[in-house]
Amino acid sequence: MIQCEGLVKIYKTDDLEVVALQGLNLHVREGELMAIIGNSGSGKSTLLNILGGLDRPSAGQVQVGPWDLLKITEDQLVQYKRQTVGFIWQNNARNLLPYLSALENVEMPMMLSGKTDRAYAKQLLEWVGLKERMHNKLHQLSGGEQQRVAIAISLSNRPQMLLADEPTGSVDSRTADMIMDIFRRLNRELGLTIVIVTHDLSLAGKVDRVIAIRDGLTSTEFIKRNPNLDEAGDGFAGAVSPQEAHEVYVVVDRAGRLQIPKEYLTALNIKDKATMDFDGERIIITPPKSLEG
Ligand SMILES: Nc1ncnc2c1ncn2[C@@H]1O[C@H](COP(=O)(O)OP(=O)(O)OP(=O)(O)O)[C@@H](O)[C@H]1O
């Protein structure tokens, strides 16, 4: 569904260039439920905005389904945003209209693309557990309920892929669990591809695969040890870290490059050079012998 190769994003301001993504590789299969984690400033939102067609990449390759997001025209981009992706933000005020009811909010994007389908709008609100509240105005709903309306809205044009930027960032843990359950159901029952960006490690423990981004590059990958164990009550749905729930891999790109965690480098006092040895089974990285104290 998503193929990024050597993706680069440079933000240029008057006298400054910020390289937010520096040759990032990412592959997401159709129907996958996965998360991207990383510290503040690592490039997560930049990546999601590019995948959502809200921002243009500077270089590299990025393909989503049949769309090449580097070559896509402005007209095609409008179509892409309407038909292929659904977007959920932490701050859902961006896509909610407070003076309309939940149902009218879900119908709004349908109206804009000329295909209002009230029955489907109601079904979406039922899926997110708001059947009884669909005629309430937005201001009569709690923050968590509004976030669930935002999920229904993101699905109103039947996208193939859902992109969620810190979807549980401003709700309590009970609502966060509910939102993750909704995502899992949508993923399983509709086969929707879902990419969640978060810095919340416990949330990352509830998806099949987690990719860690560091300094604009994919650095580590966590793959769930047993994909069937994803229901509440089995230990995975609790506050487990991705390290406990997943196998951890370091990402090696096509050119053989990998990122070494900063704490390892600090512990060994490795700065800009290291020695690498191969003993037939393992690759061993040590500080350069001539520089050792
Ligand atoms: N519009 C912009 N203009 C200039 N620099 C930007 C712009 N947007 C992001 N950046 C810079 O790009 C880098 C990556 O930012 P990004 O928002 O993608 O990180 P993030 O991982 O999503 O962080 P957070 O978790 O805090 O949202 C940061 O150094 C940021 O300052």
The label of the residue with tokens 């996958």 reads 32
Q: Which atom of ligand 1 is nearest to the CA of 197?
A: 22
Q: Would the pLDDT of 74 be above 50? A: yes
86 CB within 6 A, ligand 1: no
- Indicate whether 232 pLDDT > 80: no
Q: Among residues 247, 231, 239, 154, which one has the least CA distance to residue 194?
A: 154
Of 127-136, 174-183, 200-209, 236-245, least confident by mean pLDDT is: 236-245
Assess whether the C-beta atom of 242 lies below 6 angstroms from ligand 1.
no
For residue 166, report the distance from its CA to the centre of ligand 1, in Å.
14
pLDDT number for residue 105: 94
Provide the pLDDT for residue 53.
Answer: 92
| Burial class, 218, CB count within 10 angstroms (exposed 0-12 / middle 13-18 / buried 19+) | buried
- Per-residue confidence (pLDDT) for residue 131, from 0 to 100: 92
Task: Report the nearest atom of ligand 1 relative to the CA of 18.
Answer: 5
CA of 49 relative to ligand 1 center, distance in Å = 11
Question: Nearest C-alpha to atom 24 of ligand 1 is from which residue?
Answer: 40
Which ligand 1 atom minimizes the distance to the CA of 213? 21
Establish whether residue 44 lines the binding site of ligand 1, counting it when its CB lies within 6 angstroms of any ligand atom. Answer: yes
Say yes or no to pLDDT of 65 above 50.
yes
Q: Going by C-beta distance under 8 Å and a sequence separation of 6 or more, which residues neighbour residue 113?
A: 82, 157
CA distance 96 to 105: 7
- Token pair belonging to 113: 């693309």
- Report the residue among 17, 18, 26 best suited for mutation to probe ligand 1: largest number of ligand atoms under 8 A from its CB: 18
Q: What is the mean pLDDT of the chain?
A: 86
- Decide if pLDDT at 235 tops 70: no
What is the ipTM for the molecules in this complex?
A: 0.92
pTM listed for this prediction: 0.83
Q: What's residue 227's pLDDT?
A: 59
User: Which residues on neighbouring strands pair with residue 88, listed in sequence order?
Assistant: 164
Q: Which structure tokens are listed for 136?
A: 């309430």
What does DSSP say about strands 275-278 and 283-286: parallel, antiparallel, or unpaired? antiparallel
Mean pLDDT, residues 139-151: 90
User: For position 234, what pLDDT does the model report?
Assistant: 41
pLDDT tens across 44-55, in order? Answer: 999 999 999 999
Phi, psi for residue 219 in degrees, rounded to 5: -115, -40
- How far is Cα 188 from Cα 98, in angstroms, rounded to an integer? 31
Cα-to-chain-centroid distance, residue 97 = 25
Give the residue, out of 26, 44, 91, with the most ligand 1 atoms within 8 A of its beta carbon, to mutate for a pocket test.
44
| pLDDT computed for residue 241 by the predictor | 60
CA of 11 relative to ligand 1 center, distance in Å: 9
State percent of the chain over pLDDT 90: 48
Residue 13 near ligand 1, beta carbon < 6 Å = yes
3-state SS, the chain, equals CEEEEEEEEEEECCCCEEEEEEEEEEEECCCCEEEEECCCCCCHHHHHHHHCCCCCCCEEEEEECCEECCCCCHHHHHHHHHHCEEEECCCHHHHCCCCCEHHHHHHHHHHHCCCCCHHHHHHHHHHCCCHHHCCCEHHHCCHHHHHHHHHHHHCCCCCCEEEEECCCCCCCHHHHHHHHHHHHHHHHHHCCEEEEEECCHHHHCCCCEEEEEECCEEEEEEEECCCCCCCCCCCCCCCCCHHHHEEEEECCCCCCCCCCCHHHHHHHCCCCCCEEEECCCCEEEECCHHHCC
From 140-149, 187-196, 201-210, 276-285, the region with the lowest mean pLDDT:
201-210
Nearest alpha carbon, ligand 1 atom 31: 41
Which stretch of 4-8, 55-59, 202-206 has the lowest confidence by average pLDDT?
Answer: 202-206
Do residues 27 and 82 touch, judged by C-beta distance below 8 A?
no
Check if 259 has its Cβ closer than 6 Å to any atom of ligand 1. Answer: no
Nearest atom in ligand 1 to the alpha carbon of residue 12 is 4
pLDDT at position 73 is 92
Residue, of 124 and 290, whose pLDDT is higher: 124
Domains of the chain, CATH where assigned: 2-84+159-259 (3.40.50.300), 260-293 (no CATH)
Question: For residue 253, how far is its CA from the centre of ligand 1 (angstroms)?
Answer: 23
**Residue 73, ligand 1, Cβ within 6 A:** no
- Can you tell me the mean pLDDT for 163-180? 87
